[in-house]
Structure 1
C-alpha cells in the first residue's frame, strides 16, 4: 500500500513540476528600442534640434520596454524635469557612459534623458519619454518603429493565481 501511495506521489510531483514550468508563466511582449534609430545617441547637427523628442513621439512606450543608447565619448543621464530644462544635473537619477547603455522603463510616466557632456544637451541631445499607464500588448511595428530600431522581445512574468489553481486542483485530486 505504501509503495502505491509513493507511486501516486511521484506522479503528482512530476505532473505538477511539468505544469508549473509550462503554465505558470504568462508571455508578455516588450519592445527594445534603439534610441535615435540608425543614428544613435549623437549631438544633433543644429542647435536646439529636437530629433530625439520627434523620434520618441513616433513610438509607444510601455512598462518593461528597454531603451538602448549607442554612442561614442558621451553619456546618458536620467534627470528630473527641472534638470532637463536646465541641461544640468549634479545628482542624476541614472548615469552611464559605457557607449552601449540599456535602460529599462520600469514605471509609467515621464522619463527625462540628457547628455552629460557639456554643451551637448543645449544642442539638443536630450529626450522626454512618456511611458503609458496600462501595459498593452504591442502591435506590429510601424515602419517608423522598424526604422527606429524597435525589436519585439519576449519577456516572462510569473502568474501566482495559476500556480495556486494548479496546487489546489492537483492537491484535491491526489489527496
Structure 2
C-alpha cells in the first residue's frame, strides 16, 4: 500500500514538469571537437524550464558559461560557471541568450562553443469566454477551471493505473 501511495504522489507531480525538455547538446555526438553546435541549435526551441545536458569525457573537455563578448573572443577568464563532471545539466531558468564554451586548450577557437536563445515558458492559451464577450471577463477563472479539469483527469487516470497494479 505504501508503494502505491508513493507512486501516486510521484505521479501527481508530473503535470507540473511535463512541458520541460532535456536537450542533449550535440545529440549522439555529445560535447566534443568537430561538431557544429550553431547548426545543432538552429532548429531547437529552448524554453525556460528546459535543461541542456553536456555529455563529454571528463577531464578532456569542460563547460564554461560566459558572456557574449567572451564567447566571441573565446575568453576563458570572464566566467560565471565552470562545469567539469562530464554529464553537466543546466536548467534554463531565465529567457535570453546563453553562451557556453569549452575552456580547455584551443577547443573554443576550434568551434567547441554553443549559444542558444531561450524563450519564456509556454503558457496555455486562455479558454474562450463562455459569454462571448471581449475575453477579458472571467479569463482567469476559465484558465484555472481548464487547468483544474485537466489536472483532475490526469490524476484520475494515474489513480486508475495505481489501482490496477
Determine if the TM-score, normalized by the shorter chain, exceeds 0.5.
yes
Instruction: Name the SS for the 2:40 alignment partner.
Output: helix
1:92 and 2:88 correspond: no
TM, length-normalised to structure 1: 0.58
TM, length-normalised to structure 2: 0.62
Aligned to 1:104: 91
- Name the CA distance, whole Å, in 2 between partners of 1:52 and 1:86: 16
Structure 1 contact 63–105 (Cα < 8 Å) conserved: yes
Q: Which ranges of 4 or more aligned residues in structure 1 deviate by more than 2 Å?
A: 25-28, 133-137
Compare CA radii of gyration and give the structure with the larger one.
1
Which structure's residues are more often strand, by fraction? 1
* 1:155-174: CA deviation from partner (whole Å, max 9, x where unpaired): xxxxxx89xxxxxxxxxxxx
Change (3 A) 1:109 1:52: same
Change (3 A) 1:39 1:134: same
- Name the CA distance, whole Å, in 1 between partners of 2:17 and 2:111: 37
Instruction: Name the SS for the 2:28 alignment partner.
Output: helix
Which residue of the other structure, out of 2, 8, 20, is the alignment partner of 1:30? 20
What's the offset of the Cα at 1:134? 4.5
After TM superposition, the structure 1 = structure 2 runs for residues 19-98 of structure 1, keeping only pairs within 5 Å, are 26=16, 28-44=18-34, 51-72=36-57, 73-98=60-85
Instruction: Name the SS for the 1:64 alignment partner.
Output: coil
- Name the CA distance, whole Å, in 2 between partners of 1:136 and 1:77: 31
Structure 2 contact 52–89 (Cα < 8 Å) conserved: yes
Structure 1 contact 62–136 (Cα < 8 Å) conserved: no
* 1:92-137: CA deviation from partner (whole Å, max 9, x where unpaired): 1211111110011110000001001110000000011100134357
| CA RMSD across the alignment | 2.6
Change (3 A) 1:27 1:101: closer
- Name the CA distance, whole Å, in 2 between partners of 1:124 and 1:112: 13
- Name the CA distance, whole Å, in 2 between partners of 1:57 and 1:32: 16
> How many residues end up aligned between the 2 structures?
114
